[in-house]
Amino acid sequence: MTQTLTLRRPDDWHLHLRDDAMLQAVLPETTRHFARAIIMPNLVPPVVTMADAQSYKARIKAAMPQGSRFTPLMTLYLTENTEADDLAAAYSSGLISAVKLYPAGATTNSASGVANFDKVRPVLERMAEIGCPLLVHGEVTDHDIDIFDREAVFIDRVLDPIRRATPALKVVMEHITTKDGADYVRANPERLGATITVQHLMLDRNHMLVGGMRPHYYCLPILKRREHREALLSAATSGDKRFFLGTDSAPHATHAKESECCSAGCFTAPVALACLAQTFDDAGALDRLEGFASLNGPGFYGLPPNEDSITLTKSESPANLPKQVENGSDPITVFDPGSPVYWSVT
């Protein structure tokens, strides 16, 4: 017996494509299933200006598989030196869809991020005026804060003060990982949304640490306690339109993930929809998968849902999910949830 589920084609509201050979290797894994994606700007050097975004978009377009209708939604990387006029020009032209805030040192390639939030307040006010969304990596980086508490402290120390000072600013809390994050979104219905990743819906920190460190589960923000995963699953399957899919699919060469200093990120793009279907199925919420994956994100960004559709099929035997994506001499290991997935995109 098989079961099928047809959805409007989903979008990915948080995606890392990298650049050069890595871009060429991983882009087809997203274009195969997703119609649009918010593209992260944390390259080296980062995508800071309108000209940077134009150049990066051109490289993405050149790397797309023949016949692909995928639309990259570009972003700028917020720094303490970001020029408000350049940002506004990029947004008004339609080149960018949002601006990304990385606290300095919070994650991969975030060294150019913001350390003094007072220095970016004029830019945030300009963004509020023009309606440009701010996407936040919600973690403080203070050495005295436990890594598992970074998100909750960020909400109190940084995010809530920013939103109170600039109430018209539209904000997406990216890849929330805690009950604190989900509760904050629910308590603040105006101009606030949140993305949730596949790994944070399926795994908690025990999966990463018990029995030995599993480097392919290491990401930032880091996996949290089971109670937080359960809160995220409740939010994702609730039907609340403020929560939507952002895979945060973050490719690294396998040797970089399995090195002494493990790179942060889970490469989920090839298996994201199959894993999501399994997760929603297990939760008895398949009827809400389309909202989370295909409708809520466009609604938040003011875009129409995609007109075409995809079909997922559930089989009696576990799906044969891909193990890696070739990238010359540096293959990329694909996320494996460590439990059977019976769904696949057909």
Report whether pLDDT(78) > 80: yes
CA 219-224-227 angle, to 5 degrees, is 150
pLDDT in tens, 133-165: 999 999 999 999 999 999 999 999 999 999 999
Question: If we measure between CA atoms, which residue out of 204, 205, 202, 185 comes closest to residue 194?
Answer: 185
Break the chain into its structural domains and give their ranges: 3-345
Report whether pLDDT(1) > 80: no
Helix (H/G/I), strand (E/B), else coil: 310: strand
CA 171-173-174 angle, to 5 degrees, is 125
Instruction: Judge whether 248 counts as a catalytic residue.
Output: yes
Report whether pLDDT(2) > 80: no
Q: Are 99 and 76 in contact (CB under 8 A)?
A: yes
Q: 343-345 and 309-314 as β-strands: parallel, antiparallel, unpaired?
A: antiparallel
pLDDT in tens, 16-72: 999 999 999 999 999 999 999 999 999 999 999 999 999 999 999 999 999 999 999
Report whether pLDDT(109) > 80: no
Q: For residue 184, give the amino acid letter.
A: Y
Q: Which residues, in sequence order, are CB contacts of 252 under 8 Å at separation 6+? A: 263, 265, 267, 332
Q: What's the Cα-to-Cα distance from 312 to each of 151, 196, 336, rounded to whole Å?
A: 34, 20, 18
Class of domain 3-345: alpha beta
Report whether pLDDT(110) > 90: no
Q: What's the Cα-to-Cα distance from 201 to each of 13, 178, 204, 216, 279, rounded to whole Å?
A: 16, 11, 8, 15, 8
Catalytic residue selected from 11, 204, 248, 281: 248
